[in-house]
Every structure is written in structure tokens, then in C-alpha cells.
Amino acid sequence: MKTALLFPPQWYPSQPYLALPTLKAHLESRGHEVDQFDLNIECYDIFLSREYLERCVEII
């Protein structure tokens, strides 16, 4: 079985949530194919990018 694990945004980027990597390792040890995505970090990458911040400054 192929599974995708998603960690949703708005969590502190300095405090990683370790349940998903643990769950991924367990599922893979049982023969499942698992992809893991940290949408929280991806959102912070966008929100703190130069392009996004420059756009926000223009709006303000």
C-alpha cells in the first residue's frame, strides 16, 4: 500500500514534530511505501522568501 503522510502548517519550525517520521519508519518496516511531506516547512520557505516579503511590503 502506498501512503502519503502530511504535516500541516502552523507549527514552530524550531520544534520538529517527530510522530510522522516515527510512523513512516514503522510503516516502511511493515513493507508499505510511504512518502512524507512537511507542509509547515514549505509554508515557512514561501512566507520568508525574499519575493514574498517584498510583495508584502508593496501591499503595506
Q: What is the pLDDT of residues 7-25, one digit of tens each?
A: 988 777 778 788 999 999 9
Q: Is pLDDT above 90 for 50?
A: yes
What local confidence, expressed as pLDDT, does residue 25 receive? 97
The pLDDT tens digits of the residues spanning 21-48 come to 999 999 999 999 999 999 988 999 999 9
Give the 3-state DSSP-derived string for 15-51, with helices as H, strands as E and coil as C: CCCCHHHHHHHHHHHCCCEEEEEEHHHHHHHHHCCHH
pTM: 0.69
* Pairwise CA distance, residues 4 & 13, whole Å: 21
Find how far residue 50's CA is from the centre of its chain: 20
Element (H, E) at 60: none
For residue 20, give the C-alpha cell.
510522522
What local confidence, expressed as pLDDT, does residue 20 receive? 92
